[in-house]
Amino acid sequence: MPVDAMPLIEPAESDARRIAVGLRRKDMALINQLVELYHYRLVRYLLYLTGRRERVEDLVQDTWLRVLDRGSQFDGRSRFEPWLFSIARNLAIDDLRKRKIASLDTPEAVGGAGAATEEGLAGELPAPDRSSPFLAAARSEDAMRLAAALGLLEPIYREVLLLRFQEDLSLQEISKVVGVPVPTVSSRIHRGLALLRSRWQGGSNAV
């Protein structure tokens, strides 16, 4: 089913409390609604975060299981999406760590060498492979160029750009998801945009 045709009805922020109550009571009807509402965005976030398709479905499932198990931790004072994305992010990073430990001799999951020097867990995120979901998501020449540039971007910049411009999270919300201060988020987005712009220009010159 094409994504554009998918109904993505955003729940109002006032619904956060209703979600919190429902999660606390393990209300399965509500949780199923949330799955329907956020499944696509969660898959997209994890896909772009990890740059790999293989593990995304498992990670999505693990994320929802954790939402069910730890639903009482969501207090309803802020929107649901940042909380959901931060769970997904932590699981993705744990998964990468496990795989790194399991196969230390393979070069995968060590990507983003530049990112490894950055503070926080963002250094754990891999650079995507070349047969990336970014290219699969591109539907026009412009989008192809952008997808190629995005695939080459270091994960810490890619992540904040996508959270800001795809998921439409505020800087404060991104700061909660990523676990870095707001000014760091802001500077990462500035830097990411600059890198994307230069690669975009390079691509257009090449064309």
Partner 1 sequence: MQSDPHQRARFLIDEALIAGIARDDERWLHSHTEECAECANYAEMTSRIVRGLSALSFETGPAATARVQAALAAHAQRRYSAPWGYSAPWGYSAVQRGYSAVQRGYSAMRPRGYSAVQRGYSAMRPRGYSGTQPGDAAMQRRGYSGTQRGDAPTQLRRTAPSWRWGLIAAALLIAAAAPVYRNMTDKRREAEMERADTLLLQRVNARVSQTLPAAMEPLMQTPQTAQTVPGGEQ
Residues of the shown chain interacting with partner 1 in the complex, contacts defined by CB under 8 A: 1-4, 6, 24-33, 35-36, 39-40, 43-44, 47, 57, 60-61, 64-65, 68-69, 72, 133-134, 136-139, 142-143, 146-147, 150, 161-162, 164-166, 168, 171, 186, 189-190, 193-194, 196-197, 200-201
**How many other C-beta atoms are found inside a 10 Å radius of the C-beta of residue 167?**
18
In this complex, which beta carbon is closest to partner 1, that of residue 37 or of residue 110?
37
Q: How far is the CB of 53 from partner 1 (least distance, A)?
A: 10
Residue ranges in 8-140 assigned as alpha helix (H): 15-24, 28-50, 56-69, 80-102, 133-137
Q: How far is the CB of 153 from partner 1 (least distance, A)?
A: 11
Question: How far lies 170's CA from each of 18, 67, 122, 140, 189, in Å?
Answer: 21, 22, 19, 28, 12
In this complex, which beta carbon is closest to partner 1, that of residue 75 or of residue 168?
168
What does the buried/exposed string (b/e) look like for 41-63 if buried means 16 or more CB atoms within 10 Å of the residue's CB? bbbbbbbbbbbbbebbeebbebb
Q: How far is the CB of 51 from partner 1 (least distance, A)?
A: 13
Q: How far is the CB of 82 from partner 1 (least distance, A)?
A: 16
